[in-house]
Amino acid sequence: MSDDYRNMWKDLGLDLKSHDMLLEILGKAYQDIYMAQKDRPEQMSYFDFVMSEVHGLRIKELMDEKAAGRKIIGSYCVFVPEEIALAGNATLVGLCSGADFAMEEVERLLPRNTCALIKSTFGFKLGKVCPYLEASDMIVGENTCDGKKKAYESLNDIVSNLYVMDIPQMKTDPGRSLLKAEYYRFKEAVENLSGVKIDAAGLKKSIEIVNNKRKAIHRLYSLRKADPVPISGLDALLVNQVFFYDNPVRFTESVNKICDELESRIEKRTGAFPEGAPRILMSGCPMAVPNWKLPWIIETTGAVIVGEESCVGERGARNLTDDSGSTVEELMEAVVDRYFNIDCAIFTPNPDRFNHIIQMYKEYRVDGVIHFGLQFCQPYLMEAIPVEKALESKNIPVLRIETDYSMEDVGQLKTRVEAFVEILK
Ligand code: BJ8
């Protein structure tokens, strides 16, 4: 690792020893899970590179942006609108993490029965191993699930720049009004942070940038409907994960390049998995880097994941923002409309999510759905039961998995997934 990077991490206040340890674990997991796959598209080399430099070159780029006067905003949820951040001369980065770290210290601040995603957020801060978090000029927490909402009160004691955004819990007119008011408050906070007044031209441009990123990933999603599937679910998940870190324009180009390659693979009938491999739809909690455990288990049974009904997947990326408005007010309305459609399990009731799962089941020619719920995640574990019932009533095979970030249950999960995949064959 270059001295430049080490100095940069040190300046950011990282604990170099713990950080080395994290990079080693991440690198090993990547080798064992990603590089062990066969018949990967060549263009995945870009995403391999991004991952190898995820704490290096990308952080250097963010630091250069900061030096040039741009602001960095960290977020834990797809409800934080990237369009508004970009229009206010700020870059939005995802902060959710998918690995346990500094758990002893974490459990001094949070109850043991808190979901792994929240604990991981605290672990990365307390262990001083996340350069994205340390590089952020503003960290946005959102009132989604109770776990996050209350955890942000404690996070506020250990970071100096937390901004909390309220999020509605019902898809009603007052719910939409709340989201709109919160997005205007966020716009003002971004303007205050960067000193840049958001105007219609800037907002229109940023909508276009984010829409292009979404259009590229929609293209990727639709290519996964082919049989044989031209890309593994693990690789597609990685692209979905990089969505939250990379420069948006470069990301769009890279996804379009891989889509070009996938189109030619479809023409030649070259698949990441053989034709007729059981097709799985993953549904449930978001999977942040390096939470690759369950997809890895699924795909090593010979089944292939063809879609993710998840915030790191279609739930997060599916709708575009209408860019036809010509005033800030019109464009802000379009932003509110787009995000108000997100069917996170924090909403009650949440019929859109059920319909979306069934729609994806049909479109992706899915054989079975695996519902992934993080242990102690009330919204998704609660919703998993009616999801299962709704799918079973349509004779759609479904497997409900509850797990965390540890590797202790790998054997048990393998047995359950293998038995499920057997039924689908
Ligand atoms: S819009 S899914 S990104 S809130 S796993 S922390 S729900 S207890 S992550 Fe999410 Fe936004 Fe919703 Fe998407 Fe709570 Fe569950 Fe933990 Fe979770």
pLDDT (tens digit, 9 = 90+) per residue, 251-302? 999 999 999 999 999 999 999 999 999 999 999 999 999 999 999 999 999 9
Query: Would you list the domain boundaries of the chain?
Result: 204-319+345-424
Range 380-387 average pLDDT: 98
Residue 286 Cα, ligand 1 centroid: separation in angstroms?
A: 7
Determine if ligand 1 sits within 6 Å of the CB of residue 286. Answer: yes
Residue 145 Cα, ligand 1 centroid: separation in angstroms?
A: 6
Residue 174 Cα, ligand 1 centroid: separation in angstroms?
A: 22
Range 234-245 average pLDDT: 98
Residue whose token pair is 């790191």: 312
Mutate which of 380, 402, 404 to test ligand 1's pocket (most atoms within 8 Å of Cβ)?
Answer: 380
Taking 70 as the threshold, does the pLDDT of residue 367 lie above it?
yes
pLDDT number for residue 116:
98
Determine if ligand 1 sits within 6 Å of the CB of residue 118. Answer: yes
* Arithmetic mean of pLDDT over the chain: 97
pLDDT number for residue 96:
86
Mutate which of 92, 113, 142, 144 to test ligand 1's pocket (most atoms within 8 Å of Cβ)?
Answer: 144
Mutate which of 283, 294, 346 to test ligand 1's pocket (most atoms within 8 Å of Cβ)?
Answer: 346
Range 170-190 average pLDDT: 98
Determine if ligand 1 sits within 6 Å of the CB of residue 148. Answer: yes
Taking 90 as the threshold, does the pLDDT of residue 63 lie above it?
yes
**317 band by pLDDT with thresholds 50, 70 and 90:** very high
Residue 261 Cα, ligand 1 centroid: separation in angstroms?
A: 33
Q: Whose CA is nearest to atom 11 of ligand 1?
A: 77
CATH number of the domain at 204-319+345-424, please? 3.40.50.11900
Q: Whose CA is nearest to atom 13 of ligand 1?
A: 311
Mutate which of 339, 343, 374 to test ligand 1's pocket (most atoms within 8 Å of Cβ)?
Answer: 374
> How many CB atoms within 10 Å of residue 239?
24
Taking 90 as the threshold, does the pLDDT of residue 1 lie above it?
no
**In this predicted model, what pLDDT tens digit does every residue of 39-49 receive, in sequence order?**
999 999 999 99
Residue 54 Cα, ligand 1 centroid: separation in angstroms?
A: 23
**Which pTM value belongs to this model?**
0.97
Residue 203 Cα, ligand 1 centroid: separation in angstroms?
A: 27
Residue 94 Cα, ligand 1 centroid: separation in angstroms?
A: 13
Determine if ligand 1 sits within 6 Å of the CB of residue 285. Answer: yes
Determine if ligand 1 sits within 6 Å of the CB of residue 288. Answer: no
Q: Whose CA is nearest to atom 4 of ligand 1?
A: 144
Residue 218 Cα, ligand 1 centroid: separation in angstroms?
A: 22
Residue 77 Cα, ligand 1 centroid: separation in angstroms?
A: 7
> How many CB atoms within 10 Å of residue 184?
15
pLDDT number for residue 3:
86
Determine if ligand 1 sits within 6 Å of the CB of residue 79. Answer: yes
Taking 90 as the threshold, does the pLDDT of residue 359 lie above it?
yes
Taking 70 as the threshold, does the pLDDT of residue 199 lie above it?
yes
Taking 80 as the threshold, does the pLDDT of residue 2 lie above it?
no
**In this predicted model, what pLDDT tens digit does every residue of 142-176 receive, in sequence order?**
999 999 999 999 999 999 999 999 999 999 999 99
